[in-house]
Structure 1
Amino acid sequence: MQAQDLFTYLRDQNPLVQCITNFVSMNVAANVVLAAGASPAMVHAHEEIADFTPICGGLAVNIGTLSPPWVDSMMAAARVANDTGVPWVLDPVAHFISGYRKDAAQRLMALRPTILRGNASEILAMAGEAGSGKGADSRDSVEAAQDAAVSLAQTFGSVVAVSGPTDFLTDGVRSVMVTGGSDLMPKVTALGCSQSALMGAYAGCGPAFDAALATLAHFKVAGTKAAARADGPGSFQPHFLDALYTTQAHELADVIKA
């Protein structure tokens, strides 16, 4: 499927996506998913996983604010998703900053997410390479993480998306770049986490590579539009939500570079 086709399908079907995400991103992620055209649910209690995860179109797992009960829920949801054919996205936020976080990310990665999405430093570290990330912020270039992304895709069978000024997407065989966006985007908290949530929604609409590509393109188009109207990070966020909502399917092709 083309990214434009998935965009149209998302708007028509309004897929339900389960977002087990961090405290910082919950509100932003929910609003991003809604503005884009899908339906978010921030259901994370372990006791609800068996009933709820199978009825979702997709699952997004974000390790930004970890605790043992949340890790248990993430692992359980990923296993249920695998068992019931629900595609899922892993966002290994700053997984290199502590042993506990690294272990959680590696355990989740071993369950072979449909899509792995992270910044360059996170992708490099996931592949066992040294990066220079600072907390959740990347200090490495997308170009530096491309080989690591391809290796991870080939090893785990996951589509790997590396976000940055120009995004890189690969399934281990195909690769594509996505341009556009704005340098204001990293200055608004939780937009990366929100991208992972939306990627979970798109993954419920079609093949993983195309779903990730549609998400990256949707974000880039909206970011470019929002930047043209914003004076800074504070005004960028509402303009970004509006731009996600008003983006049209044909605009996605403009930012995708084979």
Structure 2
Amino acid sequence: MVVFPNAKINIGLNIVEKRQDGFHNIESCFYPVGWSDALEILPAESFSFQSDGINIPGDPATNLCSRAYYMLAEDYDVEPVSIQLLKAVPIGAGLGGGSSDAAFTIKVLNELFGLEISLEKQLDYARRLGSDCAFFIENKPVYCFEKGDRFEEIGLNLAGKWIVLVNPELHISTAEAYAGIQPLRSENDLREILTTPMENWKEVVKNDFETSLFPKYPVLKKIKESLYNKGAKYAAMSGSGSTLYGIFDEETDLSGIFGQYKVWQGYLK
């Protein structure tokens, strides 16, 4: 079975408070985008995981896809499989690519072996793998809170808008990003703001990581400014970086502007 685990963007990202378990409570809107990896999972004589494309650091045995397989194999009669991942979504880019791969592994195994795992249980398995993973189980726009793994419906529909994602190929670890953060609850209700026209978002829909990361990596601020200069209705950094995105009313080819970086552009759904 072949699937295409997609990325997501954060529209607004407020770091609310540090939790006693060392994580942070956040509030954000997660929105799926079309930049995708390719994931093939087939029955095999023994389990294996291989990847091509962008190099994935670390031991393949601890990759999130491998961990997803072994986690389900503990609870269900799951046959060995071969997992082949073609990695295209940049790593450490604030796009949730690895989390998406893991969530799609859960969904594929559930379908491939007829496990009939309930939606809630799939979400629980995904939460065990990482804070972003659960989003990709349903893979639809949501307001997220707590560690970014609890969700509420949100009436945000950007279908037909054109999005340009620009990744300057900087790897920013989560630990590095959070090192510069001072948690503070926002005075604005993100859910309410996102019901207003996009032109109103620029001054109030913030990504808290920009405050500390823009001075450290000036290229990030420069990309954001360029997106606005080219007509973006809203532009921001996604997650803890380093990808910037701009949302436009209509198709706007900016590949020549950011030729030295990784660029993905397409329609939102």
TM over 0.5, yes or no?
A: no
Larger Rg: 2
Structure with bigger strand share is 2
Q: With structure 1 as the length reference, what TM-score do the two structures score?
A: 0.31
Q: With structure 2 as the length reference, what TM-score do the two structures score?
A: 0.30
